[in-house]
Amino acid sequence: DAKTTQPTSMDCAEGRAANLPCNHSTISGNEYVYWYRQIHSQGPQYIIHGLKNNETNEMASLIITEDRKSSTLILPHATLRDTAVYYCIAGAVQGAQKLVFGQGTRLTINP
Amino acid sequence: DSGVTQTPKHLITATGQRVTLRCSPRSGDLSVYWYQQSLDQGLQFLIQYYNGEERAKGNILERFSAQQFPDLHSELNLSSLELGDSALYFCASSVWPDGTGGYGYTFGSGTRLTVV
Protein backbone atom coordinates (compact mmCIF):
# COMPACT_ATOMS: atom_id res chain seq x y z
CA ASP A 1 0.00 0.00 0.00
CA ALA A 2 1.17 3.49 -0.80
CA LYS A 3 2.22 5.71 2.09
CA THR A 4 0.06 8.76 2.77
CA THR A 5 1.02 12.02 4.43
CA GLN A 6 -1.46 14.23 6.25
CA PRO A 7 -1.12 17.29 8.47
CA THR A 8 -1.19 16.38 12.12
CA SER A 9 -3.94 18.81 13.00
CA MET A 10 -6.24 21.42 11.49
CA ASP A 11 -8.85 23.87 12.70
CA CYS A 12 -11.96 25.05 10.93
CA ALA A 13 -14.80 27.38 11.87
CA GLU A 14 -18.26 25.96 12.20
CA GLY A 15 -20.29 26.45 9.03
CA ARG A 16 -17.24 26.78 6.83
CA ALA A 17 -15.88 24.21 4.42
CA ALA A 18 -13.17 22.01 5.88
CA ASN A 19 -10.54 21.01 3.34
CA LEU A 20 -8.30 18.15 4.45
CA PRO A 21 -5.26 17.45 2.24
CA CYS A 22 -3.50 14.16 1.72
CA ASN A 23 -0.35 13.34 -0.21
CA HIS A 24 0.07 9.90 -1.74
CA SER A 25 2.84 10.45 -4.26
CA THR A 26 3.73 6.75 -4.56
CA ILE A 27 0.18 5.59 -5.24
CA SER A 28 -0.07 2.93 -7.93
CA GLY A 29 -2.64 2.71 -10.68
CA ASN A 30 -4.82 0.14 -8.97
CA GLU A 31 -4.91 1.80 -5.57
CA TYR A 32 -7.96 3.65 -4.37
CA VAL A 33 -7.95 6.60 -1.97
CA TYR A 34 -10.13 5.98 1.08
CA TRP A 35 -11.16 8.40 3.80
CA TYR A 36 -12.34 7.38 7.23
CA ARG A 37 -12.88 9.36 10.41
CA GLN A 38 -12.83 8.46 14.07
CA ILE A 39 -14.78 10.49 16.57
CA HIS A 40 -13.19 10.27 20.01
CA SER A 41 -12.81 6.53 20.76
CA GLN A 42 -15.64 5.34 18.56
CA GLY A 43 -15.09 2.92 15.71
CA PRO A 44 -13.78 4.53 12.52
CA GLN A 45 -16.46 5.58 10.07
CA TYR A 46 -16.19 5.23 6.31
CA ILE A 47 -16.59 8.55 4.50
CA ILE A 48 -15.77 8.17 0.83
CA HIS A 49 -13.36 6.58 -1.63
CA GLY A 50 -12.25 7.15 -5.20
CA LEU A 51 -9.84 6.03 -7.89
CA LYS A 52 -9.41 8.79 -10.47
CA ASN A 53 -12.55 10.85 -10.66
CA ASN A 54 -13.84 13.26 -8.08
CA GLU A 55 -16.51 11.75 -5.89
CA THR A 56 -19.32 13.18 -3.81
CA ASN A 57 -21.73 11.65 -1.36
CA GLU A 58 -23.98 12.89 1.39
CA MET A 59 -21.06 13.28 3.77
CA ALA A 60 -18.27 14.79 1.73
CA SER A 61 -16.53 15.39 -1.58
CA LEU A 62 -13.24 13.88 -2.66
CA ILE A 63 -11.04 15.74 -5.10
CA ILE A 64 -8.18 13.72 -6.60
CA THR A 65 -5.52 15.49 -8.64
CA GLU A 66 -5.01 14.42 -12.22
CA ASP A 67 -1.65 12.80 -11.43
CA ARG A 68 -3.30 11.09 -8.42
CA LYS A 69 -0.45 12.10 -6.15
CA SER A 70 -2.68 14.01 -3.78
CA SER A 71 -6.28 14.44 -2.80
CA THR A 72 -8.50 16.68 -0.71
CA LEU A 73 -11.48 15.71 1.39
CA ILE A 74 -14.03 18.48 1.59
CA LEU A 75 -16.67 18.74 4.31
CA PRO A 76 -18.85 21.47 2.79
CA HIS A 77 -20.45 22.89 5.94
CA ALA A 78 -18.54 21.70 8.96
CA THR A 79 -20.39 21.25 12.24
CA LEU A 80 -19.08 20.64 15.75
CA ARG A 81 -19.93 16.96 15.27
CA ASP A 82 -17.32 16.77 12.51
CA THR A 83 -14.55 17.15 15.07
CA ALA A 84 -12.60 13.90 14.67
CA VAL A 85 -9.41 12.29 13.43
CA TYR A 86 -9.54 11.90 9.65
CA TYR A 87 -7.58 9.12 7.98
CA CYS A 88 -6.53 9.09 4.34
CA ILE A 89 -5.59 5.60 3.11
CA ALA A 90 -4.34 4.35 -0.23
CA GLY A 91 -5.08 0.71 -0.86
CA ALA A 92 -5.36 -1.73 -3.71
CA VAL A 93 -8.61 -3.45 -4.53
CA GLN A 94 -7.34 -6.90 -5.19
CA GLY A 95 -7.84 -10.08 -3.24
CA ALA A 96 -7.48 -9.73 0.48
CA GLN A 97 -7.14 -6.05 1.11
CA LYS A 98 -6.29 -4.71 4.51
CA LEU A 99 -6.59 -1.02 5.17
CA VAL A 100 -3.50 0.42 6.84
CA PHE A 101 -4.30 3.44 8.99
CA GLY A 102 -1.71 6.16 9.56
CA GLN A 103 -1.83 8.84 12.23
CA GLY A 104 -4.45 10.93 10.44
CA THR A 105 -5.39 14.59 10.80
CA ARG A 106 -7.04 15.76 13.99
CA LEU A 107 -9.71 18.21 12.77
CA THR A 108 -11.20 20.56 15.32
CA ILE A 109 -14.31 22.50 14.40
CA ASN A 110 -14.55 25.70 16.40
CA PRO A 111 -17.83 27.48 17.20
CA ASP B 1 -25.73 1.61 15.29
CA SER B 2 -23.35 0.54 12.54
CA GLY B 3 -24.69 -3.01 12.32
CA VAL B 4 -21.42 -4.52 13.56
CA THR B 5 -21.83 -5.80 17.11
CA GLN B 6 -18.91 -6.27 19.45
CA THR B 7 -19.09 -7.79 22.90
CA PRO B 8 -18.19 -7.13 25.59
CA LYS B 9 -17.82 -3.35 25.50
CA HIS B 10 -15.43 -3.30 28.43
CA LEU B 11 -13.21 -6.00 29.87
CA ILE B 12 -10.85 -5.82 32.83
CA THR B 13 -8.62 -8.78 33.48
CA ALA B 14 -5.33 -9.68 35.12
CA THR B 15 -2.00 -10.36 33.50
CA GLY B 16 -1.56 -13.92 32.35
CA GLN B 17 -5.26 -14.46 31.75
CA ARG B 18 -7.07 -15.32 28.52
CA VAL B 19 -10.05 -13.48 27.05
CA THR B 20 -12.30 -13.85 24.04
CA LEU B 21 -13.70 -10.91 22.12
CA ARG B 22 -16.70 -11.46 19.91
CA CYS B 23 -17.81 -9.75 16.72
CA SER B 24 -21.00 -10.15 14.70
CA PRO B 25 -20.62 -8.60 11.25
CA ARG B 26 -23.21 -6.48 9.51
CA SER B 27 -25.90 -8.56 7.88
CA GLY B 28 -24.74 -9.73 4.47
CA ASP B 29 -21.06 -8.99 5.07
CA LEU B 30 -18.75 -11.94 4.58
CA SER B 31 -15.44 -10.40 5.56
CA VAL B 32 -14.32 -9.59 9.10
CA TYR B 33 -11.26 -7.59 10.13
CA TRP B 34 -9.72 -7.10 13.57
CA TYR B 35 -7.80 -3.99 14.57
CA GLN B 36 -6.00 -3.01 17.77
CA GLN B 37 -5.76 0.61 18.86
CA SER B 38 -3.38 1.51 21.66
CA LEU B 39 -2.83 5.04 22.89
CA ASP B 40 0.62 5.28 21.35
CA GLN B 41 0.21 3.02 18.33
CA GLY B 42 -2.82 4.08 16.36
CA LEU B 43 -4.98 1.54 14.53
CA GLN B 44 -3.04 -1.65 13.85
CA PHE B 45 -4.42 -4.31 11.54
CA LEU B 46 -4.39 -7.75 13.12
CA ILE B 47 -6.18 -10.26 10.88
CA GLN B 48 -8.89 -10.71 8.26
CA TYR B 49 -11.30 -13.54 7.59
CA TYR B 50 -13.51 -14.00 4.54
CA ASN B 51 -16.36 -16.51 4.65
CA GLY B 52 -14.63 -18.58 7.31
CA GLU B 53 -11.12 -18.54 5.87
CA GLU B 54 -8.15 -16.47 6.94
CA ARG B 55 -7.28 -14.04 4.13
CA ALA B 56 -4.72 -11.60 5.50
CA LYS B 57 -2.55 -11.27 8.54
CA GLY B 58 -0.98 -8.22 10.10
CA ASN B 59 1.30 -7.90 13.10
CA ILE B 60 -0.74 -10.26 15.19
CA LEU B 61 1.11 -11.76 18.14
CA GLU B 62 1.39 -15.52 18.49
CA ARG B 63 -0.50 -15.21 21.77
CA PHE B 64 -3.48 -13.94 19.77
CA SER B 65 -5.66 -16.04 17.52
CA ALA B 66 -8.94 -15.61 15.73
CA GLN B 67 -11.53 -17.54 13.81
CA GLN B 68 -14.71 -16.96 11.84
CA PHE B 69 -17.56 -19.37 12.36
CA PRO B 70 -20.11 -20.72 9.82
CA ASP B 71 -22.64 -18.11 10.95
CA LEU B 72 -19.93 -15.52 10.08
CA HIS B 73 -19.40 -14.19 13.58
CA SER B 74 -15.78 -13.96 14.61
CA GLU B 75 -13.86 -14.33 17.85
CA LEU B 76 -10.49 -12.91 18.78
CA ASN B 77 -8.71 -14.87 21.50
CA LEU B 78 -6.00 -13.15 23.52
CA SER B 79 -3.95 -15.28 25.88
CA SER B 80 -1.11 -14.82 28.39
CA LEU B 81 -2.19 -11.22 28.60
CA GLU B 82 0.35 -8.51 29.34
CA LEU B 83 -0.12 -4.93 30.48
CA GLY B 84 0.79 -3.77 26.99
CA ASP B 85 -2.20 -5.58 25.52
CA SER B 86 -4.48 -2.98 27.05
CA ALA B 87 -6.16 -1.32 24.09
CA LEU B 88 -9.31 -0.82 22.11
CA TYR B 89 -10.03 -3.75 19.83
CA PHE B 90 -12.18 -3.02 16.82
CA CYS B 91 -13.89 -5.38 14.48
CA ALA B 92 -14.94 -4.29 11.00
CA SER B 93 -16.86 -6.03 8.26
CA SER B 94 -17.36 -5.65 4.54
CA VAL B 95 -19.24 -7.39 1.77
CA TRP B 96 -16.23 -8.22 -0.32
CA PRO B 97 -12.78 -9.30 0.79
CA ASP B 98 -11.33 -6.15 -0.71
CA GLY B 99 -13.66 -3.83 1.14
CA THR B 100 -15.46 -2.45 -1.92
CA GLY B 101 -19.15 -2.46 -2.61
CA GLY B 102 -19.46 1.26 -2.04
CA TYR B 103 -19.30 1.27 1.72
CA GLY B 104 -15.76 0.27 2.54
CA TYR B 105 -15.44 -1.19 5.99
CA THR B 106 -18.09 -0.86 8.68
CA PHE B 107 -16.58 -0.76 12.15
CA GLY B 108 -18.08 -1.81 15.44
CA SER B 109 -17.88 0.32 18.57
CA GLY B 110 -15.00 -1.70 19.95
CA THR B 111 -14.05 -3.60 23.08
CA ARG B 112 -11.92 -1.74 25.60
CA LEU B 113 -9.56 -4.22 27.21
CA THR B 114 -7.73 -3.26 30.38
CA VAL B 115 -5.08 -5.61 31.70
CA VAL B 116 -4.12 -4.98 35.32
A17-74 pLDDT, tens digit per residue, is 999 999 999 888 888 899 999 998 899 999 998 989 899 999 999 999 999 999 999 9
Backbone φ/ψ region at B97: left (φ over 0), alpha (ψ -120 to 50), beta: alpha
What's the rounded Cα separation, in Å, for the pair A19 and A94? 29
What's the rounded Cα separation, in Å, for the pair A78 and A87? 17
Inter-chain contact A99–B108, Cβ cutoff 8 Å? no
Rg of the Cα atoms in chain A: 13
pLDDT at site A92: 67
Is the confidence at residue A95, as pLDDT, over 50?
no
pLDDT in tens, B18-68: 999 999 999 989 999 999 999 877 899 999 999 999 988 998 999 999 999
Question: Nearest CA to A33 among A43, A47, A12, A17?
Answer: A47
pLDDT at site A8: 96
Query: What is the mean predicted confidence (pLDDT) over B80-106?
Result: 83
Q: Which residue of B has its CA nearest to A51?
A: B100
pLDDT at site B101: 54
B93 reaches A (C-beta below 8 A): no
Pairing of strands B111-115, B10-13: parallel
Is the confidence at residue B81, as pLDDT, over 60?
yes
pLDDT at site B75: 98
What's the rounded Cα separation, in Å, for the pair A82 and A15? 11
Tell me the shortest Cα–Cα distance from A33 to chain B, in angstroms. 11
pLDDT at site B21: 98
Comparing B14 with B106, the larger pLDDT belongs to B14
pLDDT band of residue B108 (cuts 50, 70, 90) is very high
What's the rounded Cα separation, in Å, for the pair A107 and A54? 22
Tell me the shortest Cα–Cα distance from B79 to chain A, in angstroms. 24
What's the rounded Cα separation, in Å, for the pair B44 and B66? 15
What's the rounded Cα separation, in Å, for the pair B60 and B10? 21
pLDDT at site A2: 73
Cβ-Cβ contacts under 8 Å for A24 (sequence gap 6 or more): A2, A3, A4, A5, A31, A33, A68, A69, A70, A71, A88, A90
Cβ-Cβ contacts under 8 Å for B41 (sequence gap 6 or more): B87
Mean pLDDT of chain B, nearest integer: 92
Inter-chain contact B100–A43, Cβ cutoff 8 Å? no
pLDDT band of residue B109 (cuts 50, 70, 90) is very high
Provide the 3-class DSSP secondary structure of residue B85: helix
